[in-house]
Structure 1
Amino acid sequence: MPTYELALMLRTMSRPEIVTTLKRTTEAIFSKGGFLRQLDYLGDKQLPYRVHKNSQKHFTGSAFIVTFDVSPKKLDDLLEEYTRDVDILKRSIFKIEDEPQKIECTLDEELKPPAYRKEVINMMEKAAKGQKEKYPQNTGLNYYPFQK
């Protein structure tokens, strides 16, 4: 099963209400055959715009990130269940890549002057291969006659 991240924005509530809402959302994952990997609380956040839900205006909310594994076929059911939930203001599910890309540090290479960098040398060689040979003008003179 692939790993997903659920970004939740809950309405501002007391701590026991938040706990029951989180239990309800995680039990939905368990009921679909998934399992929970991690639950992070990001704090109370100001919403970028007011959200109207159940004839109420919300300006702030509690942000959570839930990392879980579930079958891709069950994602639509989860999203539908979360849209019907009264306490969830916003929700988004993102797929997490299996293997993060390994980034090689090239700081030493980048601190060199451009003429000594491997990438620049390769580009110059590639450009030199594409240039046409310059043919000398056959004028018989050893100087340019139109120069002032």
Structure 2
Amino acid sequence: MITYELMLLLRTMPKPELHGVLKRIATAIFDKGGVIRKLDNLGHKDMPYKTSSHGVVYNKASYFLYEFTVPPSSIDTLLDEYGRDVDIIRRRIYKKNEENKFKCTLDEELQPPPYRKEVQEMIAKARRLDKPKFSYNNGMDYYPFQK
């Protein structure tokens, strides 16, 4: 199954009500056969602009991020269900990108430039592109391109 991220903006409410809303959101994911990987509380912040939802204008919201795995066929039903919830101001579901694996090259990067493998490869490539220079000792007693 694919891992998704659900970004939620919830209306301002007391902690017991907020707990109930978060539990309701998680239950909807579990009912669709999903598994919640992580839940992040990003805090209570001012919104960048006024947003109207369910006939009410909001300036502040509580930001939450769910990371979950669910079958792709149930994404539309989740969005529809969250769209009808009056406590949710905005909701977005994104497919989570896999992290790129990289090799640590700190030991190599700490070496002086002439000793680094990348720099040596660049120098070798530049030497291959060098054009041959005119040699004055080529058997001719004069420079052929002189005026």
Q: Name the counterpart of 2:65.
A: 65
| Deviation, structure 1 residue 18 | 1.2
**1:101 aligned onto 2:100:** yes
Letter in 2 for 1:110: E
Task: Measure the CA separation in 1 of the matches of 2:37 and 2:45.
Answer: 23
Q: Structure 1, residues 115-136: CA drift from partner, whole Å, max 9, x if none? A: 2221111012122223333343
Q: TM-score, normalised by structure 1?
A: 0.79
Task: Measure the CA separation in 1 of the matches of 2:34 and 2:66.
Answer: 12
Of 116-125 and 50-59, more deviation after overlay is shown by 50-59
1:121-136 matches, within 5 Å, as 121-136=120-135
Q: Name the counterpart of 1:45.
A: 45
Q: Name the counterpart of 1:115.
A: 114
Q: Name the counterpart of 2:11.
A: 11
Letter in 2 for 1:111: L
Identity rate, percent: 48
Task: Measure the CA separation in 1 of the matches of 2:9 and 2:117.
Answer: 48
Task: Measure the CA separation in 1 of the matches of 2:31 and 2:129.
Answer: 63
Letter in 1 for 2:95: K
Letter in 1 for 2:60: T
Letter in 2 for 1:41: N
Letter in 2 for 1:31: D
Task: Measure the CA separation in 2 of the matches of 1:60 and 1:141.
Answer: 85
| Structure 2 unmatched runs, 5+ | none
Kindly tell me the number of residue pairs found equivalent between the two proteins.
144
Task: Measure the CA separation in 1 of the matches of 2:35 and 2:105.
Answer: 39
Query: What's the secondary structure of 1:24's corresponding residue?
Result: helix
Q: Structure 1, residues 93-137: CA drift from partner, whole Å, max 9, x if none? A: 233345x33333323322333222211110121222233333436
Aligned Cα RMSD in Å? 2.6
Task: Measure the CA separation in 1 of the matches of 2:122 and 2:83.
Answer: 53
Query: What's the secondary structure of 1:65's corresponding residue?
Result: strand
| Structure 1 unmatched runs, 5+ | none
Q: TM-score, normalised by structure 2?
A: 0.80
| Deviation, structure 1 residue 74 | 1.3
Q: Name the counterpart of 1:140.
A: 141
Letter in 1 for 2:127: A
